[in-house]
Amino acid sequence: MAIYKVIYGSMTAIYGPSFIEADSQEEAKIKFGSCFSDSERAGCMTARELTKREIQQTLYDKQNRED
């Protein structure tokens, strides 16, 4: 499983980012919000797999903010 950064953005709302563990982009979008229609998931949502480096950098930044 990978970790995906999922964002929903339409003309009236922006939700996210959420970080979701899933096997595919589509699964991540469904886990983000099963209440959204297929067309909303296709047109309004983005799901991008995070790289190992991005995860490491996020954890490093978070740790340094807490110190």
d(CA 48, CA 56): 16
- pLDDT value at residue 67: 61
Tell me which residue of 2, 3, 9 sits closest to 45, measured CA to CA. 9
| pLDDT the model gives residue 46 | 96
Q: How many CA atoms lie within 13 A of 45 on its CB side?
A: 24
pLDDT of residue 58: 86
Each residue's pLDDT expressed in tens, for the chain with a length of 67 residues: 999 999 999 999 999 999 999 999 999 999 998 888 999 999 999 999 999 999 999 889 989 987 6
**In the chain, how many domains are there?**
1
**Residue 27: what pLDDT?**
96
Please choose, from the candidates 58, 59, 63, 29, the residue with its C-alpha nearest in 3D space to the C-alpha of residue 44.
29
pTM: predicted TM-score of the whole model, two decimal places: 0.81
Residue 27: which domain range? 2-66
